[in-house]
Structure 1
Amino acid sequence: MDTFFISHGSPTLSIDESLPARHFLQSFGEKVFQEKPKAILIISGHWETSDPTVNVVNGPMDTIYDFYGFPKSMYQIKYPAPGAPEMAMRVKELLKEGGFKKVKEDKSRGLDHGAWVPLMLMYPAADIPVCQLSVQTKKNGTYHYNMGKMLAPLRNEGVLIIGSGSATHNLRLLSMDESVVIPWALEFDNWLKDSLLDGRYQDVNDYEKKAPHAKKAHPHPDHFYPLHVAMGAAGEESTAEQIHTGWSLGALSYSSYRFKTAS
């Protein structure tokens, strides 16, 4: 299994037919990755915890509406994907074996919109078991890259690993002018693309020092760390491919990547 990083942008991705990213995700199973996974492990920027935590849920999971002030129709969407408790425990096992001493379980948490919005478009039947893994925003990119490395065995067990966040994510510097991409956002997005496609994964781990406008692009790292997990899970010998690009609100990048594994 290859691994993926998806920029999920605004929650309106769930209903806005004008967004190219929506149509890209709807074509995912047909044009990008035809193999149906046995289970999905998704790392969302919308679940922050002090220690790595997996949701261990039996049966259909709740749809979490962790956004405010959006159209009523968005709060009526359901994505009742089955939980993947056995795979969740496998994730916990791999992380503990890899030196992550405290790995916790959450037996009631459903899927936040960083998980269910892209998944409802990619796999609308909601028939693939899903487990969600949290991020630790007080840690750094290398920590999350190493977390991904520990999860690499899942790729050979039929598990699709998806990081769901955003290539740029500064909600305070968005613009209502959709015709122009703000220069700092474009510079960061181009740097990220070049770094990934050139295989400079260590630079991406050290993005705060290496990238232009790093703090503007990610004043809080929650939406960037899912990329590091997906990148680490693919392995150092993997190659990156940009599978989608686009913008909304002047500074919100939808750049998404596939990490092609070496074996």
Structure 2
Amino acid sequence: MKDTFYISHGSPALPIDDSLPAKQFLVSWKDKVFPQTPKSILVISAHWDTCFPSVNIVPRNDTIHDFSGFPDPLYKLEYPAPGAPELALRVKELLIASGLEHVDEDRGRGLDHGAWVPLMLMYPEADIPVCQLSVQSERDGNYHYNMGKALVPLKDQGVLIMGSGAATHNLEVLSKDLDGVVLPWALEFDTWLKDALLQGRYKDVNEYEEKAPHAKMAHPWPEHLYPLHVAMGAAGENAKAKLIHESWHLGAFSYASYQFTAGC
């Protein structure tokens, strides 16, 4: 596996909302984006935020419906993918070898919606083993980028590494009245992020809170962007970024998603 990915997973309702272009993007994943079948999948999800890096070690993943206020059918959806205990232990081993002294094992946690919502559309058969890795919102972009660098060897073992978050994530400003409109500050941040990634300015992306316009508006809290830093780092040295999807929802939610290909 040469490539790693960052997916803006968006609304938990994505699997049942046919109006969103992001759903069609994910449904077409195997045909148009990534035809290879991974041996296993490592998801770095914005919705698992811990003090120390944590991996889930389970024989089969439960489906965590970690949201409220959505249509009832959504709570009936299940994504019972096998767990990936060997992958989880390998992730822990690599992180500790990189200098992280404390990596936790969670032997009861399944998949939150940052993982199962996109995977349900990408790999609906739910037959590929999946492991999750948490983010640490009290740390910074450089920390998560270095975490990703520690995971580079996994790509040679058939592991698909996917960060799952959101290119912009300010829930306070989202409104159905804004559908079809993109708020200027959100577009400016999203454009800055796209330009920085496509130009290989990863150091700027790691320091986005100081470098990017409207960084605090786009991400009042950083957990939805940190999976991007892990995916960037895991792509390896001189990796090239490619924008693989862009669309907007509710005025300020960017579904921008990226593919990172290792350089020569």
TM-score in terms of structure 2 length: 0.98
Cα deviations across residues 40-65 of structure 1 (Å, max 9, x unaligned)?
0000000000000000011x210000
Supply the distance in 2 between the matched residues of 1:262 and 1:83 (Cα, whole angstroms): 31
**Are the aligned partners of 2:180 and 2:249 in contact in 1 as well (CA < 8 Å)?**
no
Q: Which amino acid aligns with 2:134?
A: S
Query: Is residue 96 of structure 2 the alignment partner of residue 93 of structure 1?
Result: no
Match of 1:149, SS state, is helix
Match of 1:63 in 2: 63
Match of 1:116 in 2: 116
Cα deviations across residues 162-181 of structure 1 (Å, max 9, x unaligned)?
00000000000113221210
Give 1:27-106 correspondences, 5 Å limit. 27-58=28-59, 60-106=60-106
Give 1:203-218 correspondences, 5 Å limit. 203-218=204-219
How many aligned residue pairs are there? 262
Pairwise CA distance, 1:225: 0.2
Cα deviations across residues 184-217 of structure 1 (Å, max 9, x unaligned)?
0000000000000000000000000000000000
Supply the distance in 1 between the matched residues of 2:216 and 2:200 (Cα, whole angstroms): 22
Match of 1:193 in 2: 194
TM-score in terms of structure 1 length: 0.99
Match of 1:126 in 2: 126
Post-superposition, which runs of at least 4 consecutive aligned residues in structure 1 deviate over 4 A? none
Pairwise CA distance, 1:14: 1.8
Supply the distance in 1 between the matched residues of 2:227 and 2:236 (Cα, whole angstroms): 15
Supply the distance in 2 between the matched residues of 1:218 and 1:179 (Cα, whole angstroms): 21
Supply the distance in 1 between the matched residues of 2:133 and 2:56 (Cα, whole angstroms): 7
Query: Is residue 174 of structure 2 the alignment partner of residue 170 of structure 1?
Result: no
Match of 1:25, SS state, is helix
Supply the distance in 1 between the matched residues of 2:179 and 2:23 (Cα, whole angstroms): 17
Query: Is residue 141 of structure 2 the alignment partner of residue 141 of structure 1?
Result: yes
**Are the aligned partners of 2:167 and 2:256 in contact in 1 as well (CA < 8 Å)?**
yes
- Percent of residue pairs bearing the same amino acid type: 66
Pairwise CA distance, 1:235: 1.7
Pairwise CA distance, 1:4: 0.1
Supply the distance in 2 between the matched residues of 1:14 and 1:139 (Cα, whole angstroms): 32
**Consecutive unaligned residues in structure 1, runs of 5 or more:** none
Pairwise CA distance, 1:7: 0.2
Pairwise CA distance, 1:11: 0.8
Match of 1:11, SS state, is coil
Match of 2:232 in 1: 231
Q: Which amino acid aligns with 2:113?
A: H
Pairwise CA distance, 1:236: 3.0
Supply the distance in 2 between the matched residues of 1:192 and 1:236 (Cα, whole angstroms): 19
Supply the distance in 2 between the matched residues of 1:192 and 1:156 (Cα, whole angstroms): 28
More off after superposition, 169-178 vs 140-149: 169-178
Match of 1:188, SS state, is helix
Q: Which amino acid aligns with 2:162?
A: I
Supply the distance in 2 between the matched residues of 1:200 and 1:136 (Cα, whole angstroms): 23
Q: Which amino acid aligns with 1:238?
A: A
Match of 1:183 in 2: 184
